[in-house]
Amino acid sequence: KPGEQKRSKEPSSLQCMHLAVVACGDRLEETLIMLKSAVLFSNRRLCFHIFAEDSLKPEFGKKLKEWPSSYTKKFEYNIYPITFSVGNAQEWKKLFKPCAAQRLFLPVILKDVDSLLYVDTDVLFLRPIDDIWHILKEFNSTQLAAMAPEHEIPKIGWYSRFARHPYYGTTGINSGVMLMNLTRIRNTQFKNSMIPSGLTWEEMLYPLYQKYKNYITWGDQDLLNIIFYFNPECLYVFPCQWNYRPDHCMYGSNCKGAEEEGVSILHGNRGVYHDDKQPTFKALYEVIRDFPFEDNLFQSLYYPLQSKFLDTVHTLCGRIPQVFLKQIEKTMKKVYENRVIVYLGANHRY
């Protein structure tokens, strides 16, 4: 029929990489820059699941439509209201940061999605999402989620020094980048500290919160730490370069993976994109924010980044610029090579 889209053989939800984010308050720009970094470098199609307060919803739709078609054709998106399926919605909404607890409910809300990458709004991709998406294939038969450690060194880690509740491993885990097999999460009975038999993910959330709410500081991240403390076999731990935070360089460089391979995903927590405490993080954020979509990546992104980094060499994180530049340089070379091959191939036909 006219105007009807051609259906591909398999539903688009299987063909694309699913990325979820929760945006409330003043996080509109930050979220858009995160989505921009995802689209700039990724190869496979992306499906964005944006959970937003009502006041932000029209803005997201408007801004995403302003992107050039060469980029908008690389993704589809849905915008959802903030909803909590169990317990007191107001209580969940106020837990830690506004709406952050929404991520706990993604397996319940996105019933048709098999696997998903959740990220905080203050995350930037410095290489294709395809590369972290491949980690799903590395899960063993019991693993259903992947996160990075909260810290590399127990003696300066937050959980190992201050936590008043159970947490995963020796330093806890950080939930700012979380890869999930939602099908497995929905089908698993989780061990817990409340009843001897297992509970489903949805059954467990509210009683767990009620039990530990007086002891948790970091909201939903603490709840995830408690869940995986009781179910360690369910977690795949990926290395720190997939969730690289100021903590990894402000106390001296303590993320070996980033030193070897470069930062894959940058996580500018504690507002470092918007103040002057960590100029290296801020430089990356501003360069991706200001990059004009159709421009040359090396000219309009990589070179400005290099020159901004020269101003940060006096800072603890700025002393190791290669850690921040290595992956992004590699990614750009690949993007450039692919374009040249496509261009040559197109010309060759004539």
Is residue 267's pLDDT more than 60?
yes
Q: Tell me, what's the pLDDT at 315?
A: 93
Last residue of a domain, one of 209, 238, 267: 238
Q: Is the pLDDT of residue 24 over 80?
A: yes
* 327 and 190 in a common domain: no
Strand partners, 252: 250
Q: Same domain, yes or no, for 112 and 211? A: yes
Q: Let me know whether 90 and 177 are in one domain.
A: yes
Whether residues 157 and 283 share a domain: the answer is no
* The pLDDT of residue 205 is above 90: yes
The single-letter DSSP state of residue 138 is G
Q: Which amino acid is at 280?
A: T
| Chain mean pLDDT for the chain | 90
Residue 325 pLDDT > 70, yes or no?
yes
- Whether 5 is covered by a domain: the verdict is no
On whether residue 7 sits in a domain, the answer given is: no
262 falls within a domain: yes
If you average pLDDT over residues 191-202, what whole number do you get? 92
Tokens for 126, please give them: 């410095």
| Structural domain containing residue 168 | 17-238
Question: Nearest Cα to 119, choosing from 78, 160, 180, 71?
Answer: 180
Same domain, 266 and 201: no
User: Coil, helix or strand for 274?
Assistant: coil
> Residues of 145-180 as b/e, b for ≥16 C-beta within 10 angstroms?
bbbbbbbbeeeebbbbeebebbbbbebbbbbbbbbb
Distance CA 24, CA 27 (A): 6
Beta bridge partners of 178: 118
User: Cβ distance 244 to 258 under 8 Å?
Assistant: yes
* 3-state secondary structure string across 10-61: CCHHHHCEEEEEEECCCCHHHHHHHHHHHHHHCCCCEEEEEEECCCCHHHHH
Same domain for 228 and 309, yes or no, is no
For residues 225 and 252, state if they share a domain.
Answer: no
Are 59 and 204 members of one domain?
A: yes
10: in domain: no
Query: Is the pLDDT assigned to residue 257 strictly greater than 50?
Result: yes
Domain boundary at 238, 255, 286, which? 238
Query: What is the reported pLDDT for 14?
Result: 56
- Tell me the pLDDT band of 4, cut-offs 50, 70 and 90: very low
pLDDT of residue 339: 73
In a shared domain, residues 132 and 190: yes
What is d(CA 122, CA 27) in angstroms, rounded to the nearest whole number? Answer: 9
| Backbone angles phi and psi of 145, in degrees to 5 | -155, 155
Same domain, 223 and 249: no
Query: Same domain, yes or no, for 56 and 136?
Result: yes
The residue behind tokens 């947490």 is 167
Q: Evaluate whether residue 4 is within a structural domain.
A: no
223 assigned to some structural domain: yes
Q: Is the pLDDT score of 153 beyond 90?
A: no
| 321 and 210 assigned to the same domain | no
Question: Is position 82 within any domain?
Answer: yes
Task: Give residue-wise pLDDT tens across range 38-51.
Answer: 999 999 999 999 99
**Least-confidence region, from 60-64, 99-103, 257-261, 308-312:** 99-103
Q: At 136, which CATH number?
A: 3.90.550.10
Q: Burial level of 137, CB count in 10 A (0-12/13-18/19+)?
A: exposed
Helix, strand, coil percentages for the chain (3-state, nearest 5): 45, 15, 40
Burial class (CB in 10 A: 0-12, 13-18, 19+), 306: middle
Question: Is residue 31 in a domain?
Answer: yes
Domain end among 212, 238, 264: 238
Number of domains in the chain: 2
